[in-house]
Amino acid sequence: MTSTLNADPAELAKFSDLAHRWWDMEGEFRPLHQINPLRLEWINGISPIRGKQVLDVGCGGGILADAMARGGAQVTGIDLASKALRVAQLHALEAQTPNLDYREVSVEALAEQQPQSFDVVTCMEMLEHVPDPASVVRACSALVKPGGWVFFSTLNRNPKSFLLAIVGAEYVLGLLPRGTHEFAKMIRPSELASYCRSGNLDLLHTRGMGYNPLTRRYWLQADTSVNYLFATQRAPASPV
């Protein structure tokens, strides 16, 4: 059994305090709304989600989970921020989003309860907010079926990322609330790749994300020096 909860109370409080703003398209979570179509298109291009059992880890207010459910997946969203989950549930009811269920449970606990239950697992913009990201990666691997896909997105840790993602995005441009990210918690791609290997996940696709503050446009690119995405696959079951 997991003895301690892999969560930072300060991080949970931070996102709970902003919970009522999750679905304000011009509020603090505007960047998540703007990048959501890019993330969903990338996921769908690698592993089409229609008709699949999908788990969204660290779902927050449900921006990605809701979009995946509307895209035809059977989606479970999990988080430990109670207020954000209630906002996600309320939005799903108001929008009448089908095939969507939210649960307040840690990914490690769910991995013990429902191993190998999902075709696709997504964990986006979450790893940089937990004390032990490697534990989350292992749990995601345990939850996906053999041959299934696990998608991660997070922030690189380097001087460029510090300048653009923290100084630029939080303090200069005001794209995110100040204090959203801590530099020490950012994760280099080599570190995340190591967590994936240890979790029996094969890293098959990598993309970065760019942003133009003048046009307020995001795009996917080869450069992974700031925001980046991983597409990993759990090894298929060996033939008997």
Domain ranges of the chain: 9-234
Compute φ and ψ for 205, nearest 5 degrees.
-140, 140
Quick: pLDDT tens for 183-213: 788 899 999 999 999 999 999 999 999 888 7
What was the pLDDT predicted at 182? 77
Q: Residues 157-162: what's their mean pLDDT?
A: 84
- Flag whether the pTM goes above 0.95: no
CA distance 109 to 167: 35
Q: Residues 61-74: what's their mean pLDDT?
A: 97
Fold classification of 9-234 (topology level): Rossmann fold (3.40.50)
End-to-end C-alpha distance for the chain, whole angstroms: 30
Q: Comparing C-alpha atoms, which of 46, 24, 40 is closest to residue 75?
A: 40
Quick: pLDDT tens for 214-240: 788 999 999 999 999 999 999 887 665
Q: Residues 43-49: what's their mean pLDDT?
A: 97
What was the pLDDT predicted at 170? 63
CA distance 231 to 149: 7
Q: What is the mean pLDDT of the chain?
A: 90
* Consecutive H or E run containing 89: helix 82-95
